[in-house]
Structure 1
């Protein structure tokens, strides 16, 4: 997991599975980013092949925290298996999903 400032926001890049054993790290990283003042956050899921409900929950919590602070969260590089989870749970109707980080950043600038 890595974090970098890019454009007008912060990109959190994740590699590996998002499950009960790894989600606490994601939750902590996202909390640190939000509490550090970031208002535009893109989670780059290009390197994630599997996500369970705990990973989904961490993303929803981050989305709500950012929304409450007039911020924005987008997901980028979502593989088919993870996109299926987002679709089945309708999270993709709430959190915007983009093909690339650049697409997400462009949408964030418009919103």
Structure 2
């Protein structure tokens, strides 16, 4: 899991991407991004999330989002990113779904 705080914008999106990349390089394949502490997200952050979603998918992994505040959820919905990257109401809900999916697929 990656817990994110503050604003996700042009200045911080590289840190988001690097944090996710470190998890992938460490072998994580089921990553939940906890957005509870994020109050603003721009297109550069969306791009970083989609890029890492694709990178994880290529190695058989999965990126999920959790606990997005209303302003961030609106951005995810307006841009249809929530149709590509699964968004959950809470981290436990995301982790439970990841565990259930792993059990079903044997991964």
TM-score by length of 1: 0.88
Q: Could you tell me which residue of structure 1 aligns to residue 71 of structure 2?
A: 81
- 1:34 corresponds, among 14, 19, 24, to 24
Query: Alpha-carbon deviation of 1:109?
Result: 1.3
Q: Which of the two has greater helix per residue? A: 2
Q: Could you tell me which residue of structure 2 aligns to residue 98 of structure 1?
A: 88
Alignment gaps of 5+ in structure 1: 1-10
Measured against aligned partners, the alpha-carbon deviations of 1:59-79 in whole angstroms (never above 9, x if no partner) come to 101111111111111101101
C-alpha distance in 2 between matches for 1:67 and 1:76: 18
Query: Alpha-carbon deviation of 1:35?
Result: 1.4
Equivalent position SS for 1:48 = strand
Asked if 1:48 is matched to 2:42, the reply is: no
